[in-house]
Structure 1
């Protein structure tokens, strides 16, 4: 839990979120409202870190109230590392909020506790969600999880270290990545490639490599870990990076937050990272660049997509009010302002186009251009939290000396099968 808090603090320290809501008052439509009070449960972050999502929510709500004076909003903040458990407890106790932020939405959608997008949004707003993110939020053909704080990573690299190692362009294949890592090692870089298979977010690193090899976590019918592309990906990492000390001393323990900090110190030469790293690198005056993560044999694979999710619960009967609030949040200038920052990418086509048209937002353009191709872990499956835990616990073992990728992937299939059975019990 402490790791998750540390990661979120790092993101907020480097993101500059406070200016992201400057245009929020421009969106929405006038409405007298019903006199109802919306109970909104969101994640909170330490106030001491400077930029705070709590401050941003206050601005969102103030702007919404100007457009909808008849709808009150009661905001409840919960520490991010407790948000999922707090929401689950509230649901179990029959005290669902009207709107909640969480990493988990599939069980609530399957149990018919949530409003669908069709019950909340006008047609134009529904159609405006970027398809890859809308698909990830869909359960049984209904959109229940609304993407929020979206991101997609790229391959970041230290340009000065690349220059000193006489590495030219960013690697465009795995062979080129290994060659670049060997050159970085030769000039004394501690960790040529930052392989982040620690328990904070091992699933993201693993999925990036598996997608780049033509694999993934699922097929058309469900989980499918023990596939030849996945075996090839983990085997290559074990034999071509880890065995040669090109991925540091303990990749199975390297967490994302620690990797970002090592990159900023110049101890990591290249790594997968999210746009939030740009703000920190700029502050540190670190010479960096980024490129698409390379496919195994060259080319550009689908990037992974990441998002938190918003959802609206039925229990209190505030469908109209929930719809007004969420439609305001995701429409027009609201969505552009909320999504146009280094910590969160826009999740609608309209907002993406707006950010893409602003020269000041040029650093975000390559990340935004990736959004439609993003591929997600199966976050819309009830069993995903348990399966994610198994990946975080086990996948790092596959790339260690004498690690067995086949055995690890088989164990993940077994864990997924058990989680699926438990979810239907």
Structure 2
């Protein structure tokens, strides 16, 4: 008699947690429902022939990834659904996007929507719409919470996450086999032992420590998080010269760099060069983002990846990074900006925007779809890290200046004769100076 009853789906822990997060968000923002619904963001604009200026980054293909090409399909699809809105798409090289946007804003020519690494100064200057003014509540609730927290300034979210990523420890399986290393290290002592074994068989750079100026801030933060430290303290203020941070950089100096286990010049090794050297078999292991997956497959490199280890064992808190989209108030195109962002972060468009194996989705729904798609299974371990991702203080106006100091100087802390405590103290000084300039600027 029971055989015809419908089967009941039992929620797993991730599904339960996600449902709780969404319910909490909806309850917290229920009072905004009427206001947001009144915007009419998901339908066509009531205006005719509105042009939205969209400024985005273009990328090279040095690592074999195709990034940014999704706009060629998204823009026409949006315009087809919204015949009264035209998108004026402008691509700027990625390494110039922040400077270009800052110059446009200073000249009074801010685009309607822009991609950038920097959003806090524009938010604090009241130049941006926040997400409650652009997106309905369901769309807001769908963003992975760690990313919306990172995009929040003064209790309002202005940075819309875009091109999300989180790194893992990649390693060359063939080199590990030859060095008789059984698998990925699960502590810093094991990482050092693996590096020693790789060096013994002639590997040029056992661990690719990327402390060159291209992305030293990301590499350094991953190591600090793994030691229980970070760039900020409990009150979300800069706090560099802590015992955990000093200990992490001292360990790198004494246990990895001093013995040549991080190559000849880790303070000069940039991310792009490190990826290329890994693909050539010159680096045994390194922290890398999912953009490396496709390139390694095409190179037929025998690789694997694992969580970055905590100092004393286990998986470290993962680093999260993202570019951001922001909508400027200057032209008064709130409804049109909201319509475009709603389209971008809904349904199939969100999957398209995730960029295949080059970058990760930033919404729960797109993450679920990606991990359930056999073609996207290699991304699953990266996607699973996103909810616990820790970010640099990108929502602080002073962060670009502080980041610049880290990129320039952190490598010196781990070289022979380096003084981690002094270098970290200098970052605290840079942070105070940057905060003062931000407050008076």
Give TM-score scaled by structure 1 length. Answer: 0.91
Measured in 2, the distance between the counterparts of 1:52 and 1:252 equals: 28
Q: Which ranges of structure 1 fall in alignment gaps of 5 or more residues?
A: 1-27
CA contact (8 A) 1:190 1:248 kept: yes
Higher mean alpha-carbon deviation, 329-338 vs 361-370, is at 329-338
Preserved contact between residue 33 and residue 68 of structure 1 (Cα < 8 Å): no
1:104-253 aligned at under 5 Å gives the runs 104-219=118-233, 220-253=235-268
Over alpha carbons, which structure has the higher Rg?
Answer: 2
Of residues 336, 347, 364 in structure 2, which corresponds to 1:332? 347
Does structure 2 retain, via aligned residues, the 8 Å contact 1:130–1:348?
A: yes
Is the Cα–Cα contact under 8 Å of residues 340 and 361 in structure 1 kept in the other structure? no
Q: Distance in 2 between matches of 1:48 and 1:371?
A: 25
| CA spacing shift, 1:49–1:410, aligned 2, 3 Å | closer
Deviations for 1:183-224, whole angstroms, at most 9, x for unmatched residues?
Answer: 111111111100000000000110000000000000124100
* 1:238-284 superposed Cα distances (whole Å, 9 cap, x missing partner): 01001111100110000001100111111100000001111111111
| 1:389 paired residue number | 404
Q: Please tell me whether the aligned partners of residues 295 and 301 of structure 1 are also in contact (alpha carbons under 8 angstroms).
A: yes
- Deviations, residues 26-75 of structure 1 (Å, cap 9, x unaligned): xx955254221111111123599997555421211101011111111111
Label 1:237 to 1:351 Cα distance change in 2 as closer, same or farther (>3 A): same
Instruction: Indicate the residue corresponding to 1:24 in structure 2.
Output: none
- Secondary structure class of the residue paired with 1:373: coil
The CA distance in 1 between the partners of 2:386 and 2:281, in whole Å, is 29
Partner of 1:322: 337
Kept after mapping to 2: 8 A contact 1:114/1:312 = yes
Partner in structure 2 of residue 31 of structure 1: 44
Q: CA offsets per residue over residues 108-129 of structure 1, 9 Å max, x none?
A: 0001100000000000000111
User: Is the CA contact (8 Å cut-off) linking 1:336 and 1:350 kept in structure 2?
Assistant: no
Q: Secondary structure at the match of 1:189?
A: coil
- Check conservation: 2:63, 2:272, Cα contact below 8 A: no
Alpha-carbon offset, residue 166 of structure 1 = 0.5
On the 8 A contact 1:182/1:192 being kept in 2, the answer is yes
Contact residue 148 and residue 308 of structure 1 kept, 8 A: yes
Indicate the larger mover: 210-219 or 67-76: 67-76
8 Å CA contact 1:105, 1:309 repeated in 2: yes
Higher helix share: 1
1:157 Cα deviation (Å)?
0.2
Q: 2:394 maps to what in 1?
A: 379
Question: Pick from 424, 429, 432: which aligns with 1:414?
Answer: 429
CA displacement at 1:376 relative to structure 2: 0.6
Residue of structure 2 equivalent to 1:402: 417
Work out the number of aligned pairs and report it. 398
Alignment of 1:11-26 (within 5 A): none
Structure 1 33/343 Cα, relative in aligned 2: closer, same or farther at 3 Å? farther
CA distance in 1, matches of 2:362, 2:330: 27
In the alignment, does 2:293 pair up with 1:278? yes
TM-score, length basis structure 2: 0.88
